[in-house]
Amino acid sequence: MVEPFLDALHPARCRLCGGYAGNDLACSEHPLPPEPAPPRCGRCAAGLAPVLPDGAKCVSCRRRSPPFHRAVVLADYRDESVRAWVLALRHGGRVDLAEPLGALLGERLDLEQDGQVDELLVPVPLHRWRRIERGYDQAERLARAAARAAHRSVAPVLSRLRSTAPQGSAGTASRAANVRGAFAARRGARERVLERDVWLVDDVVTSCATVSECARVLRRLGARRVGVLAVARAGADDGRVLRSPV
């Protein structure tokens, strides 16, 4: 009896579960935090130990400066409700979630850039087999939705040459080795990215090995600056991976 009445007042439904969401995108069970809790690394957005100031560099970034200038993420993957969204999009066949999540990425990008609109969004590519298996490429869907929301353009200029193993258990060095040479530029990529500011888009950034490798390829193609834009960040301050989405 109550729900139709509430619907008339606030018709919004949680995009994840369909439950009552008030004026919001999500119900109280599946909140999407407005931003990940500080302190976070100013370069790669990894969560830092609470004693460190927000924006300080994490151990990995101090050890080796990443090939992207910064990572912007919506949430921390340790957050249970954020994981529910990401896993539904990634493994639950919920391609429809790319639209609201991508729109949030687009809004976030607008805040970052303050009106600069000539940037290119490049999705981190999925291997062809994974794409066939899943039926869609979640990073590409996110990039397209973000581009629509933020009036940017999308260029899927990278391809994944081989399927890389899940990165949850490997150490930093072997994760980097795992993805080395795994990405290549598609035909016409150089013309698209030359002298452009590029944002690499993915659902979850786990170890930074994948986005770093993609950023290197884009820099070699002549991109002016490469940033990383993702729904969630899964790494800890010492480079350890707390939880990998596979």
Binding site for Zn ion (CB under 5 A): 14, 16-17, 19, 27, 29-30, 41, 43-44, 46, 58, 61
Quickly list H helices, 52-196.
Answer: 59-63, 80-91, 98-113, 128-134, 138-150, 172-179, 189-193
| DSSP per-residue letters across 25-94 | SS-TTS---SSPPSPB-TTT-PBPPTTSPTTPPPHHHHHS--SSS-EEEEEETTSHHHHHHHHHHHHS--
Give me the least distance between CB of 42 and Zn ion, in Å please: 7
Radius of gyration of the chain (CA): 18
Minimum CB distance to Zn ion smaller for 19 or for 38: 19
* Comparison of 14 and 126: residue with beta carbon closer to Zn ion: 14
Q: Which is nearer to Zn ion, 151 or 243 (CB)?
A: 243
In whole angstroms, the minimum distance from the beta carbon of 235 to Zn ion comes to 8
- Give yes or no for a contact between 160 and 138, defined as CB atoms under 8 angstroms apart: no
- Taking the least distance from each CB to Zn ion, the nearer of 22 and 222 is 22
Rounded CA-CA distance 215/209 in Å is: 10
For the bound state, the minimum distance from the C-beta of residue 234 to Zn ion, rounded and expressed in Å, comes to 13
Closest distance between Zn ion and the C-beta of residue 162, in Å?
26
